[in-house]
Structure 1
Amino acid sequence: MPVREGPAQPAPPPKDETPAPYPAEKARGGQIVLRTRGRRAIFIGGLVGIVLLVLLLKLLG
Structure 2
Amino acid sequence: MTDPRSTRKRDISAEDARQGEIILRRRWQRIVFIAGLASFVLFILFGSLVYANGFLGAGLPGK
TM-score of the superposed pair, with normalisation by structure 2 = 0.54
Choose between structure 1 and 2: higher helix proportion. 2
Candidates 46, 49, 57, aligned match of 2:36: 46
Give, in angstroms, the shift of residue 23 of structure 1: 4.0
Flag structure 2 segments of 5+ consecutive residues without an equivalent. 1-12, 52-63
Instruction: Give aligned-pair identity as a percent.
Output: 38
AA in 1 matched with 2:16: E
Flag structure 1 segments of 5+ consecutive residues without an equivalent. 1-21
